[in-house]
Each structure stands twice: as C-alpha cells, then as structure tokens.
C-alpha cells in the first residue's frame, strides 16, 4: 500500500511527504534510479484535504 504519509526525521530535522515501503522505511523521492529513503522518528497519514 503506497498511501502518502507525513514523515519527520529527528536526526536530520526534516519533514516530508512520502510512502511506507515496509520494515519501517519510508520513501520520499525517486529520480534517475535513486530513491530517498529514511527511518522517521514520527509519521502519520495525511489529513483529508479541505472541503471547498
């Protein structure tokens, strides 16, 4: 399941949107065969978008 989630990595002080790859790893980009993966200290599903 590649549901987008909000992740925070306390070691790098970064927050980003990514998806859970399994085994505690989250991917936040993939470009030219390189993927950005982190083990965040916190994560949560994205909230529903605002209603118009």
What DSSP line would sit under the chain, residue for residue? ---EEEEEETTTTEEEEEEEEETTEEEEEEETTEEEEE--SEEEEPPPPPP-
Domain ranges of the chain: 4-45
Cβ-based neighbours of 35, under 8 Å, separated by 6 or more: 27, 29
Amino acid 16: pLDDT: 87
pTM here? 0.62
Specify the pLDDT at position 10: 81
pLDDT at 1 over 70: no
User: pLDDT digits over 19-41, tens only?
Assistant: 888 777 788 888 888 888 878 88
């Amino acid at each position: 399941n590649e549901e987008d989630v909000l992740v925070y990595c306390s070691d790098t002080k970064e927050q980003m949107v990514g998806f859970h790859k399994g085994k505690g790893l989250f991917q936040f980009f993939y470009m030219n065969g390189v993927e950005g993966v982190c083990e965040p200290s916190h994560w949560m599903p994205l909230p529903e978008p605002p209603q118009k």
